[in-house]
A = this chain, B = another copy of it.
């Protein structure tokens, strides 16, 4: 199984935190990092199954939670009923804009908006350093007008 820097980081973190390095975790991690964009649990499960990597739904959810705790993935509720997961991009913080109809998600980076988030958080008793933002809109070609 080919290795890559983030996978090695992950393995180190697992050891540091007293977790075991299991096949399931390796496969899941690779899948999350090889995919672009935002994936739900079902999509990951299918992708893994398609590659012959068996992993149960329970283990998938448990490990997505672990990956989030260890800071390797972010878990978003971008509308809809399911969580979407994305691997953390080193450095570039981005936010999301989502179509309320079809669920399409686009990423954007806006330092100006980040600055405002901080200010608003501060003004309302929230931690200015912890914040993610999402915009709910509608695709132009997604109907309604």
Contacts and interface: CB of A to CB of B under 8 A. Distances in A.
Interface of A: 77, 79-80, 97, 99-100, 106, 108, 110, 112-113, 116-117, 120-121, 123-128, 130-141, 144-145
Contact of A131 (B116, B130, B131, B135): B135
Contacts of A79: 77
State the number of copies, please: 2
B121 A137 contact: yes
Contact of A136 (B131, B135, B138): B131
A127 B108 contact: no
A112 B80 CA distance: 27
A145 to B, nearest CB: 7
